[in-house]
Amino acid sequence: MKCLNNRADSHLTGQVECELDSRTNGAWVNQGFCSSPPPLPRVVSTIYNPQPLFQGSMDSMYKLDTLGPFPEEPPSADQSLVKKQRSCCWFVKGLWGTTLTENTSNNRELFVRTTLRELLVYLVFLVDICLLTYGMTSSSTYYYTKAMTDLFVNTASQSGVKFQSISTMADFWTYAQGPLLDGLYWTKWYNNQSMDNGDRSFIYYENMLLGVPRMRQIKILNNSCKVHNDFEDEITGCFDVYNDKKEDDLSFGLINGSAWTYHTEKEIKGSSHWGLLTTYSGSGYYQDLSRTKEESAIKLKELVDNLWLDRGTRVAFIDFSTYNANINMFCVIRLVVEFPATGGAISSYQIRTVRLIRYITTWDYFILGCEMVFCLFILYYIVEEILELRIHKFSYFKSIWNILDIIVIMLAIVAIVFNIFRTVKVDKLLGKLLEHPQIYADFEFLAFWQTQYNNMNAVNLFFAWIKVFKYISFNKTMTQLSSTLGRCAKDILGFAIMFFIVFFAYAQLGYLLFGTEVESFSTFVKCIFTQFRIILGDFDYDAIDRANRVLGPIYFVTYVFFVFFVLLNMFLAIINDTYSEVKEELSSQKDELQFTDIIKQSYMKTFTKLKLKKEKISDVQKALRSGSGEIEFRDFRETLKEMGHADHEISAAFSRFDRDGNQILDEDEQERMKIELEEKRDALSAELNKLGMNYEKELLEKPPVTSNEQKNQSSHTFVDRDQFLSLTKQVVQLESSVDGITSRIDLIMEKLGLQQKAKGNQTAGKLTVTNHDSDETASDGSILVLVDRGLTSRRSTARSNSTLDSPM
């Protein structure tokens, strides 16, 4: 819809009402949101194939437009070029138009419409990313991990040693020669019948052991620390805590294999590991076991007899991988036993169940299709953010939502690149493993990055859901959370400084008081998380009391009082007070244009458009009935021009049915026109009835209005349907009258030109002058009448509309 400017008429001032016409992108604007209008208005298209009012929501309007028998005249070359440029611009705006690329600051309706369009597109993207994220996981992942944990971590040896109960080097070898070997090699059924799998092992009869397991250790150099002078005679060796610069790289023991020779991280293609005590490198001494239980037992006995583990050992790793074809899952297992400088052993394990082979089943190929759609969405949003960045420059980064958009896009790009890398790497690794099944299958690197990939997708999905708040902020109810947090941010920041001063003071106090005896206070980081757990009610008071019978209760009581009862409640009070202020302000504000208002107004606008179109068809039918026998174009045009139609529309309609081009409609041509007009009229009537029924249904389903809502709505006055139709019709008639006046002025100018050319012939000139005088008098009289009628109609329309819009 476009806004009409005033004619060059000194009697009329102010802006004229917005006409009922549609823009190419399908939007419409009411008077309250009219922007700068074009300098000259064009004639309102009536019955000759007008554009639908609601391009995106009323599919039936497209069908009705295709029924229209009256095409417009073909545009000129210049008009085609301008139209092409506009269509390109509107295509970009329609596809990537956002609240940041369009001027919506003074147009609430356009803001709501653009936001809703963005929300619909984003919801499709959100569904797609949810399918991708959840399509890569399965409930079988947990049960696979649990089965491997029960077998290799919780199974005890004959002496009762479990992996988690390892406390000495002797316990380590007891576990390795007992539960480890029994769990790795399954060659018989429960009735001692052979499984006939050759030298391959299927753990739990379902999970194939890939390659062979590997044991690896990292040692520290002797005399890597300094012994005190008083103990130099008694203590001959000193092995420091682990440090990668103090690693032992000398051969030892039998010096005849990889178990006794040092290998760098690059040589064995290892990877670092973050243990409980520190981070270990991927180098060291390693021993690959065999594909059978007997051969592996022999190798383990050789390591035990030759003291493979000694005082310099700081960590030992056991790595192996399995594959379950039933669920297409890999399980990469790493068992770690750390030997600290204090003596003893600390065990930990890492079991990663991942899906490295992606596309097998029909569901996997469906996920592949979702991945392609995801890539298209990312490309779409990259272009969108570039357009917004070009428009707003550095101010683009002032919005937290824009920064969140960039984060989501960057994480998505990293995910796409890793997905391609993982597919290529797995194919290469599996190909090598199938050629040499007796080698160690190193899936640790891929499993690690697959886990990080899954974590990144989880974070990205979280941010994607949070971003939904960006698109629902057009409703004042939805802005309460952001308004509350934004307003109390400074107060919370100032309070947080006081809170964490007290909090960290208690954390240091707890670490120094209980760190030597209570595990949850053994490090400063653990103290911080333990104090958060105390706030939530999860604590072990007995352990604190045993560690320090005097200061323990004092610490606990004062911490709970100051942090929980005082500081935490002050924090909640700040938020509650700000929320009350925000809610009160929002309730006092008048309601802005909402989505329901747009739907209701769209029904009214569409209904009005269809009704006007139906009336114009009736005008054409009257023109056909007014003629007798054959109808000439001149009579047809004069009849419709009196009813307010434009010249080019009338010519286009007549030429369509004038098959022989003789400027006359015979009976057959009139009959065809009548049939198509009747079909068009019936279709419009059906659509009007349908819209009317839907509108009445909405009114019936609308809940009763409360007294508070009536008070809020008292400041807004809406026009009923009949009055709106009447005013709209007056606007259309006004423009039609003005167009008629313009046509008559053009005709007079043509006649004046003929008059000057005929001055040479006196007799003919007199006759011409006489005829021109009579015509000019008649024309001038008719023009004065029409101008007076048009101005009167324009004034009455302006007064009516100003009266109508004044309450709004």
Higher pLDDT, 667 or 180: 180
Give the C-alpha separation, 187 to 199, whole Å.
8
Residue 74 lies in a domain: no
pLDDT at 32 (0 to 100): 33
pLDDT-based confidence at 614, cuts 50/70/90? Answer: low
Per DSSP, the three-state class of 463 is helix
pLDDT mean over 217-240: 88
pLDDT at 598 (0 to 100): 61
Residue 282 lies in a domain: yes
Predicted TM-score of the model (pTM):
0.61
pLDDT mean over 452-457: 87
pLDDT mean over 657-670: 65
Residue 326 lies in a domain: yes
Q: Choose from 221-235, 272-286, 394-408 the range with maximum mean pLDDT.
A: 272-286
pLDDT at 137 (0 to 100): 81
Final residue before a domain boundary, out of 559, 588, 617? 588
pLDDT-based confidence at 357, cuts 50/70/90? Answer: confident
Which of 163-172, 563-572, 650-659 has the weakest average pLDDT? 650-659
Same domain membership, residue 305 and residue 216? yes
Residue 552 lies in a domain: yes
pLDDT at 361 (0 to 100): 85
Higher pLDDT, 266 or 481: 266
Q: What are φ and ψ of residue 87, in 5° steps?
A: -65, -35
pLDDT-based confidence at 772, cuts 50/70/90? Answer: very low
What is the average pLDDT value for the chain, to the nearest integer?
Answer: 74
Pairing relation of β-strands 202-203 and 279-280?
unpaired
Same domain membership, residue 551 and residue 469? no
- In three-state form (DSSP H/G/I as H, E/B as E, the rest C), the secondary structure along 770-806 is HHHHHHHHHHHHHHHHHHHHHHHHHHHHHHHHHHHHC
pLDDT mean over 557-580: 91
669 marked as binding residue: yes
pLDDT mean over 234-244: 89
Q: Is the pLDDT of residue 151 over 90?
A: yes
Same domain membership, residue 299 and residue 157? yes
Radius of gyration of the chain (CA): 42
Burial of 414 (0-12, 13-18, 19+ CB in 10 A): middle
612, 46 in Cβ contact below 8 A?
Answer: yes
312, 238 in Cβ contact below 8 A?
Answer: no
pLDDT-based confidence at 17, cuts 50/70/90? Answer: very low
Residue 33 CB partners (closer than 8 Å, separation 6+): 106, 107, 108, 109, 110
Same domain membership, residue 296 and residue 374? no
The residue among 484, 736, 722 whose CA lies nearest residue 604 is 722
Same domain membership, residue 198 and residue 231? yes
Beta strand residue intervals within 132-237, DSSP E: 202-203, 207-219
pLDDT at 600 (0 to 100): 61
Final residue before a domain boundary, out of 588, 619, 649? 588
Same domain membership, residue 320 and residue 182? yes
CA angle (600 as vertex; 599, 602 as ends), nearest 5: 65
Burial of 163 (0-12, 13-18, 19+ CB in 10 A): buried
Q: Is the pLDDT of residue 801 over 50?
A: no
Which of 275-284, 576-585, 641-650 has the weakest average pLDDT? 641-650
Residues 111-144 have pLDDT tens digits of: 777 778 888 888 999 999 998 888 878 888 999 9
Higher pLDDT, 659 or 243: 243
pLDDT at 64 (0 to 100): 37
666 marked as binding residue: no
pLDDT at 610 (0 to 100): 62
Give me 87's structure tokens.
Answer: 């269509």
Beta strand residue intervals within 426-538, DSSP E: none
Per DSSP, the three-state class of 51 is coil
Which of 53-62, 452-461, 501-510 has the weakest average pLDDT? 53-62
Residue 600 lies in a domain: no
- In three-state form (DSSP H/G/I as H, E/B as E, the rest C), the secondary structure along 396-430 is HHHCHHHHHHHHHHHHHHHHHHHHHHHHHHHHHHH
- In three-state form (DSSP H/G/I as H, E/B as E, the rest C), the secondary structure along 608-629 is HHHHHHHHHHHHHHHHHHHCCC
Q: Provide the percentage of residues in the chain whose pLDDT is more than 90.
A: 29
Helix-helix angle 721-757:762-805, to 10 degrees: 160
Final residue before a domain boundary, out of 320, 354, 388? 354
Same domain membership, residue 350 and residue 263? yes
Q: Is the pLDDT of residue 211 over 80?
A: yes
Residue 195 lies in a domain: yes
Give the C-alpha separation, 690 to 603, whole Å.
11
Number of domains in the chain: 3
Per DSSP, the three-state class of 142 is helix
Same domain membership, residue 338 and residue 225? yes
Higher pLDDT, 583 or 46: 583
Same domain membership, residue 320 and residue 243? yes
Q: What are φ and ψ of residue 585, in 5° steps?
A: -65, -40
The residue among 220, 224, 213 whose CA lies nearest residue 252 is 220
Give the C-alpha separation, 97 to 391, whole Å.
12
Give the C-alpha separation, 157 to 183, whole Å.
11
Same domain membership, residue 365 and residue 311? no
Which of 99-108, 241-250, 383-392, 419-428 has the weakest average pLDDT? 99-108
CA angle (219 as vertex; 213, 222 as ends), nearest 5: 160
pLDDT-based confidence at 652, cuts 50/70/90? Answer: low
Q: Is the pLDDT of residue 180 over 70?
A: yes
pLDDT at 149 (0 to 100): 94
Torsion of the alpha carbons at 578, 583, 588 and 591, rounded to the nearest 10:
130
Residue 685 lies in a domain: no
Give me 280's structure tokens.
Answer: 């270990």
pLDDT at 21 (0 to 100): 36
591 marked as binding residue: no
The range of the structural domain enclosing residue 446 comes to: 132-136+361-475
Residue 197 lies in a domain: yes
